[in-house]
Amino acid sequence: MKPNKNVVSLAIILLLLIGCKTLPATPTGLVTEKAMVVSAREEASKIGVEILKKGGNAFDAMVATEMALVVAYPFAGNLGGGGFMVYRKSDGTTGALDYREKAPLSATKDMYLDSSGNVIPDMSTVGATAVGVPGTVAGMIAVHDKFGKLPLEEIFAPVIALAQNGIVVTQKQAEHFEAYRDEILEVNGGSTTFPIDAKPGDILKYPVLAKTLQRISEQGRDGFYKGETATSLAAFIQQNGGFVTVEDLAEYEAIWRTPIAFNYKDLRIISMSPPSSGGITLNQIFRMMEPYKVSKYGHNSEKEIQLFTEAARRAYADRNYYLGDPDFVDIPKETLLSDAYLKKRMESFSFKKATKSSDIQEGNVQMAESMETTHYSIVDHEGNAVSVTTTLNGAYGSKLYSDELGFFLNNEMDDFSAKAGVPNMFGLIGAEANSIAPEKRMLSSMTPTLVERDGKLWMVVGTPGGSTIITAVAQTILNAYEFNMSMQKAVDAPRFHHQWLPDVIMFEPQGFSNQLKDELRSKGYNINEERTPIIGKVNAIRILPDGHLEGGADRRGDDTAVGF
Ligand code: DON
């Protein structure tokens, strides 16, 4: 049978229309042909690229970039913290690495409570008592053992040189030093060797840190978890009243995990599995939004904000109750991610009126403006991609700085739920699933993510921001996909956030009109008025149809894309 002429013309018009809709956005960020690193500091991105140029792959560049951030960005770059990595190799295989800190062997469920059962202020956030067993070095060595091409010493060489020769203090870095000066002095005393009074343009050298890095470069994980470093570190933490021992350090292992992967329209999104809540919460938000014509509502329009907020409200409520370290708790993952469950969750949603989060606890919850974690994205010339988020938790972690080793220690123990129902420093309310136990990993929101489109790698994305990480990653993907923005624009666009409790929408200062906020208020939404926070500091890469790469380095920081 001959096809009808009209049907053929209609099909061609339809194809053209579909084609038009998916015409990729013109890049506005850095475009390179083969490879790219986007991180919080130019020095770190450059060192990652240097390793790629020497024949290293994305995994070698990951180790180099992460170690360079320890030197150039002590605010969050770390030896004394932990993180997560999601990868996709050029052959399409994916995986994830968990190098999250864990509770020391001596930890107990009530370790941060006084005799009346109340949370002791600052104990899980400031100083040695807040420190979890660091995972970063184990993570780097695990990645290198499994996928690395270049020798460890070659990867570490430019990082050690950076520590010896020094980094130039930027304006933003000097502002960080200033902002945290008093806290760092209070924890470490006035004789601290951390250069807290440095000014923009000063050159900071870290000879002690260079020696610590040298030991790791020569001895691998034993250069950190055993011998001189481990003995010094455990003694230092204990002298300051903390719990981490040489035994804790010797026993620490990074764990390879299966990422959370799901479809959203014609995207496939691959993100971090527990003990991060990122992947599951992202999955829930996207699948709750999927039935709606998001692109038609308009970017940051009232309807988009309502839909996103209601999906996030429901997803964070589940996050806080059900999620924890999968090696300790049973997470009802199948149910939480099933279509039937998510459909039911959204049955109560209407564009007419806000759903109320039960037990509103705003008022006694502080939403701190906090970008203290850091994320970097890498794509190499073979097409391998890594998405990595790493943290000390707070800015400079617990503020405890080892003069003998040259680095800060985390305050990740605060990511546990010290007491059910009491919010942590991100205002997150935890439950039994995230209670403290020896060797357990604390629940995280870090969401290193990769996105495939039509079966090919399309985006590498992630951000700091504590509890706001998940919503900032989700909005960056939506900006690029639903609203067809370039990578740089998708990263720079103003963001908003809702996390169930407290029941408020936070808006970044620019980009949301008073009229829009009034309309939302009239529908019963609470709007956070007191503060004008930054939400997230996203570093992302988009792969263009011709294989070129577009960087999205967040305007909110010193973040820089470098590539070739
Ligand atoms: O793992 C987490 O979710 C937190 N420790 C991340 C902390 C963070 O992003 C701080 N910066 N805003």
315 and 208 belong to one structural domain: no
Give yes or no for residue 274 CB within 6 A of ligand 1.
Answer: no
Please give the share of the chain, as a percent, with pLDDT higher than 70: 93
Can 192 be counted among the known catalytic residues? no
- The answer to whether residue 261 sits within a structural domain is yes
Please give the share of the chain, as a percent, with pLDDT higher than 90: 87
> Which of ligand 1's atoms lies nearest the C-alpha of 412?
5
β-partners of residue 374 are 390
> Which residue is listed with tokens 């985006």?
459
- The answer to whether residue 550 sits within a structural domain is yes
pLDDT at 16: 45
**Residue 463 is assigned to a ligand binding site:** no
Residue nearest to atom 1 of ligand 1 (CA): 444
Tokens of 97: 């690495």
Give yes or no for residue 444 CB within 6 A of ligand 1.
Answer: yes
Task: Reduce the DSSP state of residue 168 to 3 states and report it.
Answer: strand
Distance CA 86, CA 260 (A): 10
pTM above the 0.85 mark?
Answer: yes
Helix H or strand E encompassing 310: helix 302-322
Model confidence over 98-107: pLDDT tens digits? 999 999 999 9
Asked if residue 149 has pLDDT above 60, the reply is yes
The more confidently predicted of residues 285 and 511 is 285
Asked if residue 187 has pLDDT above 60, the reply is yes
**Residue 441 is assigned to a ligand binding site:** no
Distance CA 489, CA 404 (A): 43
At 181, the amino acid letter reads R
404 and 463 belong to one structural domain: no
3-state secondary structure 85-146: EEEECCCCCEEEEEECCECCCCCCCCCCECCCCCECCCCCCCCHHHCCECCHHHHHHHHHHH
Give yes or no for residue 78 CB within 6 A of ligand 1.
Answer: no
433 and 457 belong to one structural domain: no
Distance CA 539, CA 388 (A): 10
Number of Cβ within a 10 Å radius of residue 248: 26
Taking Cα atoms as reference points, which of 327, 532, 338, 541 lies closest to residue 441? 327
> How high is the mean pLDDT of the chain?
93
- The answer to whether residue 26 sits within a structural domain is no
Give yes or no for residue 446 CB within 6 A of ligand 1.
Answer: yes
Asked if residue 367 has pLDDT above 80, the reply is no
Residue nearest to atom 6 of ligand 1 (CA): 466
Burial annotation 431-454 (CB, 10 A radius, 16+ → b, else e): bebbbbbebbbbbbbbbbbbbbbe
Asked if residue 286 has pLDDT above 70, the reply is yes
Residue 462 domain boundaries: 257-369+447-563
Distance CA 446, CA 148 (A): 24
**Residue 549 is assigned to a ligand binding site:** no
335 and 470 belong to one structural domain: yes
Domain total for the chain?
2
Name the residue of 323, 469, 538, 539 to mutate for ligand 1: max ligand atoms within 8 A of Cβ: 469
Give yes or no for residue 370 CB within 6 A of ligand 1.
Answer: yes
154 and 49 belong to one structural domain: yes
Name the residue of 273, 325, 391 to mutate for ligand 1: max ligand atoms within 8 A of Cβ: 391
> Which of ligand 1's atoms lies nearest the C-alpha of 394?
10
Last residue of a domain, one of 415, 438, 461: 438
Asked if residue 360 has pLDDT above 50, the reply is no
pLDDT at 460: 99
pLDDT at 422: 87
pLDDT at 501: 86
Asked if residue 9 has pLDDT above 60, the reply is no
Give yes or no for residue 254 CB within 6 A of ligand 1.
Answer: no
327 and 354 belong to one structural domain: yes
Burial annotation 184-215 (CB, 10 A radius, 16+ → b, else e): bbebbeeeeebebebeeeeebebebbbbbbbb
Distance CA 491, CA 542 (A): 11
Q: 19 falls in which pLDDT band (50, 70, 90)?
A: very low
Last residue of a domain, one of 407, 438, 469: 438
Asked if residue 79 has pLDDT above 60, the reply is yes
Asked if residue 309 has pLDDT above 90, the reply is yes
- The answer to whether residue 147 sits within a structural domain is yes
The bridge status of strand 267-271 relative to strand 260-264 is antiparallel
- The answer to whether residue 19 sits within a structural domain is no
339 and 428 belong to one structural domain: no
Asked if residue 21 has pLDDT above 70, the reply is no
Give yes or no for residue 465 CB within 6 A of ligand 1.
Answer: yes
**Residue 392 is assigned to a ligand binding site:** yes
**Residue 444 is assigned to a ligand binding site:** yes
List Cα–Cα distances, 434 to 130, 256, 424, in angstroms.
16, 20, 12
Do 345 and 288 form a contact (C-beta atoms < 8 A)?
yes
Asked if residue 298 has pLDDT above 50, the reply is yes
Q: 361 falls in which pLDDT band (50, 70, 90)?
A: very low
117 and 229 belong to one structural domain: yes
Asked if residue 132 has pLDDT above 60, the reply is yes
CA of 467 to the centre of ligand 1 (A): 7
184 and 275 belong to one structural domain: no
User: 13: which residues sit within 8 A by CB, 6+ positions away?
Assistant: none
pLDDT at 528: 86
Model confidence over 198-257: pLDDT tens digits? 999 999 999 999 999 999 999 999 999 999 999 999 999 999 999 999 999 999 999 999
> Which of ligand 1's atoms lies nearest the C-alpha of 368?
12
- What is the arithmetic mean of pLDDT over 123-145? 98
Give yes or no for residue 214 CB within 6 A of ligand 1.
Answer: no
Asked if residue 365 has pLDDT above 50, the reply is no
Asked if residue 259 has pLDDT above 90, the reply is yes
pLDDT at 239: 98
Q: 7 falls in which pLDDT band (50, 70, 90)?
A: low
300 and 426 belong to one structural domain: no
CA of 371 to the centre of ligand 1 (A): 8
Model confidence over 260-276: pLDDT tens digits? 999 999 999 999 999 99
- What is the arithmetic mean of pLDDT over 271-294? 98
* Angle at which helices 58-72 and 136-147 cross, to 10°: 160
List Cα–Cα distances, 262 to 268, 498, 539, in angstroms.
6, 22, 22
- Which member of 373, 390, 463, 560 is catalytic? 373
218 and 283 belong to one structural domain: no
